[in-house]
Structure 1
Amino acid sequence: MRPDPLAWWQSQFGEIAPRGHLLRRAFGVNWVRFHSLPDSKRYAESLDEYAELHSRHFLVASALFSAGEPLYVFRAHIGETKLRGKARHQLAGRQFREDVAVLPTESLGQDGEDRMHVRALVSKWKPDFFEAAIRLLADWQEVGISFVSPSTKNIFCPYDGGMDVFTFSIAPEDLRARFALWRSARPDGL
């Protein structure tokens, strides 16, 4: 039977769209944020900085996911781009399913954000796909992506500048301690 990641998401998280800022409001006790680069620098400007960015994302994601583990990859956008012809929505060469869930966001108080269009694809924890996706996100060529383990419910939401992590199988304090140098100095963790 073909897995249905959109139905799974709604059964586990209801009508909360898989976006870090929305999940943080609902699951703040499970949340940790890490920065991609030293001193909270947002964008990489050299090969060394890209290497650091990829290393941090890979190490944090590897703490959440096991090699070869099935993952659902979600993309949630406020607006949905209409594609023409045979074009399909994709991320780093992998095609999203044509099924779309439209989730309300007004319950979380987002002004002007009343609906999120969510697409999904089924993948496995593989560094090659992950690295390509992280590069797109780090350069702000892609937004609103979340990697989720259906077995542990762990969620990895990378963005340009860092990653929001929601852990249900590991204590958030353990991740905070393990990657303490990559956290914000701000009291709210942002």
Structure 2
Amino acid sequence: MRPDPLAWWHSEFGEVAPRGHLLRRHLTAQWVRFHSLPDSKRYAESLDDYAEIQHRHLLVASAIFSADEPLYVFRALSGEAILRGTARHQLVGRQFREAVAAVPHESLGQDDEDRMYVRALVSKWKPDFFEAAIRVLADGEAVGVSFVSPSTKNIFCPYDGGMDVFTFSISPEELRARFAGWLSSRPDGL
């Protein structure tokens, strides 16, 4: 039987879209944020910066995902691009399923324009795909992507500047202690 990541997400998290800033409101006890670069720098300016981004994201994700662990990769956007011809929704060469779920955006109304459009693909925890995805996310070329383990419910939401992590298999305090130098100095953790 083929897994259905969209149905799984809905059964586990209801109508909250898989986006870090939305999940923070509902999963505050499981949340921790790490910055991708020193001094909260948002974008890479050199090859060394890109290497640091890859290093940090890979270490944090490896702390919550196991080798070859099945993952669901979600992309949640407030608008759904209409593709023509043979074009398909994809992330670094991996195609999202054609099924799409329209999840109400909690801060907006219930009209179609006020929804997050969520697509999913099934993958495994393999750093090669992850590293390519992190590069496009760090540059802001892709947004709204989350990596989720259906077995542990751990969620990794990278963005341009950092990563929001929601963990159920280990405590956020353990992650904070392990990667303390990458935390925000702000009291709210942002």
* TM-score in terms of structure 1 length: 0.97
Pair 1:94 & 2:108 matched:
no
Matched residue, 2:144: 144
Aligned to 1:8: 8
Q: 2:162 matched to 1:162?
A: yes
- What does 1:108-119 align with in structure 2 at a 5 Å threshold? 109-110=107-108, 114-119=114-119
Q: SS at 2:85's partner residue?
A: coil
Structure 2 equivalent of residue 77 of structure 1? 77
- Counterpart position of 2:184: 184
User: Matched residue of 1:85: which SS?
Assistant: coil
Find out whether 1:123 has 2:134 as its counterpart: no
Secondary structure, counterpart of 1:42 in structure 2: coil
**Pair 1:21 & 2:21 matched:** yes
**Shift, 1:110, TM fit:** 5.0
Q: Which amino acid aligns with 2:135?
A: R
Q: Quick one: which amino acid aligns to residue 165 of structure 1? A: V
TM-superposed deviation, 1:114: 2.5
Q: Distance in 1 between matches of 2:87 and 2:51?
A: 32
* Rounded Cα–Cα distance in structure 2 between residues aligned with 1:64 and 1:15: 24
Number of equivalences: 188
The SS at the match of 1:33 is strand
How much has 1:86 moved relative to structure 2? Answer: 1.0
Q: CA RMSD in A?
A: 1.2
Structure 2: 5+ residue stretches without partners: none
Q: What is the distance in 2 between the residues matched to 1:114 and 1:54? A: 34
Q: Distance in 1 between matches of 2:137 and 2:161?
A: 9
Q: Secondary structure at the match of 2:140?
A: coil
- In the alignment, the residues of structure 1 paired with residue 114 and residue 87 of structure 2 have an alpha-carbon distance, to the nearest angstrom, of 27
In structure 2, the partner of 1:57 is 57
Change over 3 Å in CA distance of 1:97–1:6 after alignment to 2: same
The answer to whether the aligner puts 1:48 opposite 2:48 as a matched pair is yes
Tell me the CA shift for residue 129 of structure 1: 0.2
User: Which residue identity does 1:44 align to in structure 2?
Assistant: A
- How far did 1:105 drift? 1.5
Q: List structure 1 segments (4+ residues) > 2 angstroms apart after TM superposition.
A: 109-114
Q: Provide, for residues 94-115 of structure 1, a one-character-per-residue CA deviation record: whole Å limited to 9, x for no partner.
A: 0000000000022xx3589821
3-state secondary structure, aligned to 1:119: strand
Give me the TM-score of the superposition, normalised by structure 2. Answer: 0.97
1:31 and 2:31 aligned:
yes
Report Cα offsets for 1:98-144 as digits up to 9, x if no partner. 000000022xx358982100000000000100000000000000000
Question: Secondary structure in 2 aligned to 1:83?
Answer: coil
* Identity over aligned pairs, percent: 79
Tell me by how many angstroms 1:159 deviates.
Answer: 0.1
Code of the aligned partner of 2:146: S
